[in-house]
């Protein structure tokens, strides 16, 4: 395919790459946009198209097959993804003129596919426009898995699992929330500026900043624009971080001059938050197994002006002897996980995870938790967190760990949560913290606080 000349053309190229190579949506987007000259507005539209089509792919394919005589899987990649691009605009983007979207997609098909495909794409998209009532979904009462999977674009294995855990109504709400656009939240770097002062600066620059009522350092932005190329960002006044992620460091509750270990630390959101809560006084070792991800920690440390963190390249299951012999006041393990709590932010993750992945991830999490436990001094604290909502990775894993480690006990995390969160959601019930997109409006996280006796 030749160099793109429009946002739609760039999006099509990325979608074909995702389709052919099973590429990550964000990486495919970045590769395309790094090599085209598009205005800021067009780049944002291109991103919306790529992520939107990827997120809603199952529903879009269902709509296509309602009007197509040919199964989606048997179409060539260009035709398939041009149709997806067209249906997404027609079905999900009310601000886009529908007939213009159809015209542009037909033009793309003429340019990149064989001659017969343009007529086919035109016929299917005009049928979608002309007869939307023909689109049907399986009955919710009779077949809730298929209904939720097709209507809310989630894999059936995940919908089945969640129905067993949460029930079908709750699962439908969760899947619907996963398709909504998440708020853009940032964490004030209180080592450099107060939240109120930062909000004034952000408002002055037109970003529409609103203080989070859940976390004192959190800010919700109404308009992001060129936020991450702005001087406020480059000078280290804030870092992007979801509210649920901010809760983790509060539950850890680090104090100035403590020794803290942050395992699996990249890209450094929680690491820098820990340093912030400690007043940048003490010592934090931040480990990660990948050099390119460790570089992200170093970049954030430099930008935020933090000096108390020592990044370290290592596998947290096999720490260097001089580190494994140490004992820390606080240890954080934000474990690699399935990421089922952040599907609204990761457009492609729902299609890349499988039920079999969970077994491998749980095995890894157990190894990492064993390694983390050995680093905690008597009366010290170990916090285990994931951005998963699967019990095998969370409450069940912690229960198994505690049964094998009587030297640890589980503390109630509620007292360590920010006052705003406690007021908004006073009933936690269990010692650990669970957050969900459809009930809390933030990412899905699990947080457990363990104390070594």
**Tokens 């959190």 -> residue:** 218
Answer yes or no: are the C-beta atoms of 53 and 11 closer than 8 Å. yes
* Cα–Cα distance, 250 to 304 (Å, whole number): 19
Q: Which residues contact 133 (CB under 8 A, 6 or more apart)?
A: none
Q: Which two tokens stand for residue 45?
A: 């539209």
The length of the chain, given as a count of residues: 453
Answer yes or no: are the C-beta atoms of 433 and 417 closer than 8 Å. yes
Distance, C-alpha 113 to centroid of its chain:
34
Q: Which two tokens stand for residue 244?
A: 């649920």
Q: Which residues share a beta bridge with 328?
A: 376
* Cα–Cα distance, 427 to 407 (Å, whole number): 28
Q: Which two tokens stand for residue 329?
A: 């006041």
Q: Is 387 a catalytic residue?
A: yes
Q: Could you say which of 105, 287, 337, 387 is catalytic?
A: 387
Q: Kind of pairing, strands 445-452 and 184-188? A: unpaired
Distance, C-alpha 331 to centroid of its chain:
23
Closest CA to 390 of 448, 334, 434: 434
* Cα–Cα distance, 330 to 271 (Å, whole number): 12
Burial of 433 from C-beta contacts in 10 A (0-12 / 13-18 / 19+): buried
Answer yes or no: are the C-beta atoms of 298 and 272 closer than 8 Å. no
**Tokens 């001089």 -> residue:** 322
- Active-site positions read 387
């Amino acid at each position: 395919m030749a160099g793109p000349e429009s946002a739609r053309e760039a999006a099509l190229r990325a979608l074909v790459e995702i389709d052919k190579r099973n590429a990550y949506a964000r990486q495919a987007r970045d590769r395309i946009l790094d090599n085209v000259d598009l205005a800021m507005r067009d780049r944002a539209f291109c991103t919306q198209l790529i992520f939107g089509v990827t997120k809603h792919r199952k529903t879009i394919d269902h709509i296509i097959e309602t009007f197509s005589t040919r199964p989606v899987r048997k179409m060539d990649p260009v035709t398939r993804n041009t149709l997806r691009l067209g249906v997404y605009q027609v079905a999900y983007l009310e601000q886009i003129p529908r007939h213009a979207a159809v015209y542009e997609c037909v033009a793309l098909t003429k340019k990149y596919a064989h001659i017969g495909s343009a007529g086919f794409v035109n016929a299917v998209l005009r049928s979608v426009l002309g007869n939307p009532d023909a689109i049907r979904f399986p009955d919710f009462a009779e077949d809730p898995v298929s209904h939720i999977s097709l209507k809310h674009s989630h894999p059936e294995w995940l919908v089945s699992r969640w129905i067993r855990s949460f029930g079908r109504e709750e699962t439908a709400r969760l899947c619907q929330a996963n398709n909504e656009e998440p708020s853009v939240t940032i964490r004030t770097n209180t080592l450099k500026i107060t939240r109120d002062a930062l909000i004034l600066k952000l408002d002055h620059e037109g970003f529409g900043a609103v203080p989070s009522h859940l976390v004192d350092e959190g800010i919700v932005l109404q308009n992001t624009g060129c936020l991450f190329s702005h001087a406020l960002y480059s000078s280290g006044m804030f870092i992007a971080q979801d509210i649920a992620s901010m809760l983790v460091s509060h539950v850890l509750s680090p104090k100035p001059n403590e020794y803290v270990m942050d395992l699996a630390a990249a890209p450094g959101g929680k690491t820098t938050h820990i340093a912030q809560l400690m007043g940048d006084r003490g010592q934090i070792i931040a480990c990660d197994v990948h050099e390119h991800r460790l570089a992200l920690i170093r970049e954030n440390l430099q930008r935020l002006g933090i000096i108390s963190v020592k990044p370290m390249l290592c596998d947290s299951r096999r720490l260097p002897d001089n580190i494994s012999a140490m004992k820390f006041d606080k240890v954080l393990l934000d474990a690699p996980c399935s990421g089922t709590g952040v599907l609204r932010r990761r457009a492609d993750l729902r299609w890349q995870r499988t039920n079999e992945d969970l077994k491998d991830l749980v095995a890894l999490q157990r190894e990492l938790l064993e390694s983390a436990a050995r680093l905690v001094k008597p009366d010290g604290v170990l916090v285990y967190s994931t951005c998963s909502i699967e019990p095998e990775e969370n409450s069940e894993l912690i229960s198994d760990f505690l049964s094998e480690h009587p030297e640890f006990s589980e503390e109630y995390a509620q007292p360590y949560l920010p006052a705003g969160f406690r007021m908004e959601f006073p009933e936690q019930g269990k010692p650990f913290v669970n957050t969900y997109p459809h009930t809390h409006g933030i990412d899905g996280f699990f947080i457990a606080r363990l104390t070594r006796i």
